[in-house]
Amino acid sequence: MPFGKSKIFWALVFAATFILALDPFGRHLDQTLAFGLPQAVIYYVALQLLLFIELLAFSRLYWRQA
Amino acid sequence: MIELAVVAVYLLALLAIGYWGYRKSGKTPEDYFVANRSLGKVVLFFTLAATNFSAFFFFGFAGAAYTHGYSYYGIMAFGTAFIAVMFYVLGRRIWRLGKAYRLITPSELVGERFKSDGLRVLFLAVMVLFTIPYLATQPIGGGIALSKLTDGLIPFETGAVIITIAILFYVLLGGMRSDAWTDVLQGVIMIIAMLSAFGIVLSGLGGLEPANQQLLEQRPELFSRPGASNFFTPQIWFSFMILWSLANLMFPQLFVRFYAAKDENAIKWSALLYPIITIILFTPPIILGVLGNQYVPGLLGKEADQILPKMVSLFSGPLLAAILMTGSFAALMSTADSQLLAMSSMLTRDVYARFINRQASQRKQLLVGRLLVAVLALVGLAVALTPQVSIFELLASTTFTGLAILFPTAFAALYWKKATANACILSIVSGELAYLAFYFGLIPKELAFGFLPAIPLVAFSSFVLIVASLLGKPDQRHAENFLAPVENK
């Protein structure tokens, strides 16, 4: 995966995740529940899981040890 | 009495771990302050998490969720999870430089990078100034919790003293090793306490869906992003999301933990698990805090911080209340012990061994370090027991912004070879002065454009640092040599 070695690629991945956390799609306007919780909470739990997966890929593909 | 028994067992376990840490530790400042750089992935992860999550995590989260609603989850949980990225951006370089130059304190790194004692002392002074009041809030929290748990049998003052003595015992004995190992126990207790409270209260409520559905019909504003008090504007939302990443690693107790890592693998694992621990630990207090509006309505201001123990006492007996309170002790003690050790290390290495006694032997530095731990603990306790603490309350409420202003200097020290010592000094001084002016209304709040002051202030101090560095004469050869250990990715 050539992208995995690119510093810019990973900067963009984490920046995009941060932008998603700013709620550009207005998830907070949807006040219905999912799994008993507001969709906004589910949205952020999903983003935290996404961040975990990104960090996992980052640590395997880019972060080399000294 | 079951409450007292649970707390007593917890305190005895801490003392036993503290003693064990003492038996394992060597007799050098490096061993005492950074555990001889030996913390593996499990211990490093728990000590980073337990140190970061203070008494505020147990009471403040639920209280803020009670007041603002579910929107509080996003800024706290995701904002904190995102710090994991900073473990790579800052933490990895801190570890590599610490290992290469045997650094122990944050100010040591900045001072050595720029060959400037002035910057070293300034960096230290800002860290200590904003950390001591935060340290004092921990015995205050402990005293209140112990007093409530025993229905006033143990007065607030005695409670604060008991918590301080327990911390002193294991930090004095084993330093970072005991501190980090007790953090593992404290982290586990925090998880057990929070999840037990969540499970029992939730089963008492009859499940999440009906409880939330009912509240949604009555108080829909608690489910909106602006929150019940329309607090979370887009600018405030952005500010909180980024503030934790800028400020958290500027807390000396978190900064030094990267020196203590055994290897980069330990930092990697801590980064990986951070988003997960924030899901596990942050959802219960937020949900219980919001749902508290239905069962304990009408709490105002600081009263809201009592919503979590109130909800637990509504749906369970004294045993769970005791476990929850023990969890809160774990949260506050794991922060306070780390603050003590980090500040003591800075004062020992960057003041005593640098300016007062340059020939100080390792044994003497160790003795002074221990002495300073005791002095700082007593200062924190004295502040906690003083009724007139307005100046300290002010500093505690400004800690995050005050420390975030150090971020541009720390970042430049690790990455930018053209940065100069004078530019960093100017950046910190102008940033802190501008913050004072903001705080006392000398600069109109409108100039923050709706953001928290930390955001324009960090932008301003970064601008000052960049411009002043470009106008100055950097010692690029020294910068290249100093940063050589971090140059490969």
pLDDT at res. B152: 83
Task: State whether residue B89 sits within 8 Å of chain A by CB.
Answer: no
pLDDT at res. B144: 80
At B395, the pLDDT band (50, 70, 90 cuts) reads low
Q: Is 80 exceeded by the pLDDT of residue B203? A: yes
Contact B73 A40 (CB under 8 A): yes
Contacts of A48 in chain B (CB under 8 A): 77-78, 81, 275-276, 278-279
Taking CA atoms, what residue in B is nearest to A50?
A: B275
User: Looking at the DSSP assignment, which residues form a beta bridge with residue A38?
Assistant: A33
At A32, the pLDDT band (50, 70, 90 cuts) reads confident
Q: Is 70 exceeded by the pLDDT of residue B387? A: no
Q: What confidence tens digit (pLDDT) does each residue in B273-296 have?
A: 999 999 999 999 999 999 999 999
Q: How far apart are CA B235 and CA B365, in angstroms?
A: 47
Give the percent of chain B with pLDDT over 90. 69
pLDDT at res. A29: 60
Task: State whether residue B450 sits within 8 Å of chain A by CB.
Answer: no
Which of B302 and B240 is assigned the larger pLDDT? B240
Contacts of A36 in chain B (CB under 8 A): 207-209, 211-212
Convert chain B into a string of H (helix), E (strand) and C (coil).
CHHHHHHHHHHHHHHHHHHHHHHHCCCCHHHHHHHHHCECHHHHHHHHHHHHCCHHHHHHHHHHHHHHCCHHHHHHHHHHHCHHHHHHHHHHHHHHHHHHHCCCCHHHHHHHHHCCHHHHHHHHHHHHHHHHHHHHHHHHHHHHHHHHHCCCCCCHHHHHHHHHHHHHHHHHHHHHHHHHHHHHHHHHHHHHHHHHHHHHHHHHHCCHHHHHHHHHHHCHHHHCCCCCCCCCCHHHHHHHHHHHHHHHHHCHHHHHHHHCECCHHHHHHHHHHHHHHHHHHHHHHHHHHHHHHHHCCCCCHHHHHHHHHHHHHHHCCHHHHHHHHHHHHHHHHHHHHHHHHHHHHHHHHHHHHHHHCCCCCHHHHHHHHHHHHHHHHHHHHHHHHCCCCHHHHHHHHCHHHHHHCCHHHHHHHHHCCCCCHHHHHHHHHHHHHHHHHHHCCCCCHHHHCCCCCHHHHHHHHHHHHHHHHHHCCCCHHHHHHHHHHHCCC
Selected residue of B237, B272, B451, B487 to mutate for chain A interface (largest A Cβ count, 10 A): B272
Closest partner residue to A65 (CB to CB) among B263, B272, B276 is B263
The winner for highest mean pLDDT among A26-35, B94-103, B215-224 is B94-103
At B4, the pLDDT band (50, 70, 90 cuts) reads confident
Q: Is 90 exceeded by the pLDDT of residue B137? A: no
Contacts of A65 in chain B (CB under 8 A): 263-265
| Among the ranges given (A57-66, B122-131, B336-345, B449-458), the one the predictor scored with the smallest mean pLDDT | A57-66
Q: Is 90 exceeded by the pLDDT of residue B271? A: yes
pLDDT at res. B224: 84
Task: State whether residue B101 sits within 8 Å of chain A by CB.
Answer: no
Q: Nearest CA to CA, how far is B318 from chain A (Å)? A: 28
Q: What confidence tens digit (pLDDT) does each residue in B64-79 have?
A: 999 999 989 998 999 9
Q: Is 90 exceeded by the pLDDT of residue B342? A: yes
Contact B96 A51 (CB under 8 A): no
Q: What confidence tens digit (pLDDT) does each residue in B252-263 have?
A: 999 999 999 999
Closest partner residue to A41 (CB to CB) among B70, B237, B241 is B70
pLDDT at res. B117: 96
Contacts of A55 in chain B (CB under 8 A): 84-85, 271-272, 275
Q: Is 80 exceeded by the pLDDT of residue B394? A: no
Interface of B with A in 230-249 (CB under 8 A): 234, 237-238, 241-242
Q: Is 60 exceeded by the pLDDT of residue A11? A: yes
At B391, the pLDDT band (50, 70, 90 cuts) reads low
Q: Is 90 exceeded by the pLDDT of residue B60? A: no
Q: What confidence tens digit (pLDDT) does each residue in B140-180 have?
A: 888 888 887 788 888 888 988 999 999 999 999 999 999 99
Contact A37 B488 (CB under 8 A): no
Q: What confidence tens digit (pLDDT) does each residue in B76-90 have?
A: 999 999 999 999 999
Q: Hunting for tokens 């949205």 — which residue is that?
A: A43
pLDDT at res. B405: 97
Closest partner residue to A31 (CB to CB) among B88, B99, B216 is B216
Q: Nearest CA to CA, how far is B35 from chain A (Å)? A: 20
pLDDT at res. B13: 94
Selected residue of A13, A30, A35, A55 to mutate for chain B interface (largest B Cβ count, 10 A): A55
Contacts of B231 in chain A (CB under 8 A): none
Closest partner residue to B224 (CB to CB) among A17, A22, A31 is A31
pLDDT at res. B14: 93
Contact B271 A55 (CB under 8 A): yes
Q: Is 80 exceeded by the pLDDT of residue B188? A: yes
Q: What confidence tens digit (pLDDT) does each residue in B413-470 have?
A: 999 999 999 999 999 999 999 999 998 899 998 889 999 999 999 999 999 999 999 9
Selected residue of B41, B73, B97, B293 to mutate for chain A interface (largest A Cβ count, 10 A): B73
Q: Is 80 exceeded by the pLDDT of residue B388? A: no
Contact B70 A38 (CB under 8 A): yes
Q: Using alpha carbons, select from B252, B286, B327 the residue that is nearest to residue B76.
A: B286
Q: Is 80 exceeded by the pLDDT of residue B56? A: no
pLDDT at res. B428: 98
Q: Is 60 exceeded by the pLDDT of residue B58? A: yes
| Average pLDDT of span B390-406 | 75
pTM to 2 decimal places: 0.94
Q: Is 70 exceeded by the pLDDT of residue B247? A: yes
Name all domains of chain B by residue range, CATH numbers in brackets: 2-388 (1.20.1730.10)
Q: Is 60 exceeded by the pLDDT of residue B392? A: no
Task: State whether residue B88 sits within 8 Å of chain A by CB.
Answer: yes
Which of B107 and B388 is assigned the larger pLDDT? B107
Q: Is 70 exceeded by the pLDDT of residue A23? A: yes
At B138, the pLDDT band (50, 70, 90 cuts) reads confident
Contact A63 B220 (CB under 8 A): no
pLDDT at res. B25: 82
DSSP conformation class of A36: T
CB B54 within 8 A of CB B335: yes
pLDDT at res. B303: 84
Q: Is 70 exceeded by the pLDDT of residue B489? A: no
Strands A33-34, A37-38: parallel, antiparallel or unpaired by DSSP?
antiparallel
Selected residue of A6, A33, A48, A63 to mutate for chain B interface (largest B Cβ count, 10 A): A48
Q: What confidence tens digit (pLDDT) does each residue in B209-224 have?
A: 999 999 999 998 898 8
Closest partner residue to B241 (CB to CB) among A21, A40, A56 is A21
CB B168 within 8 A of CB B377: yes
Contacts of B72 in chain A (CB under 8 A): none
Taking CA atoms, what residue in B is nearest to A36?
A: B209
At B409, the pLDDT band (50, 70, 90 cuts) reads very high
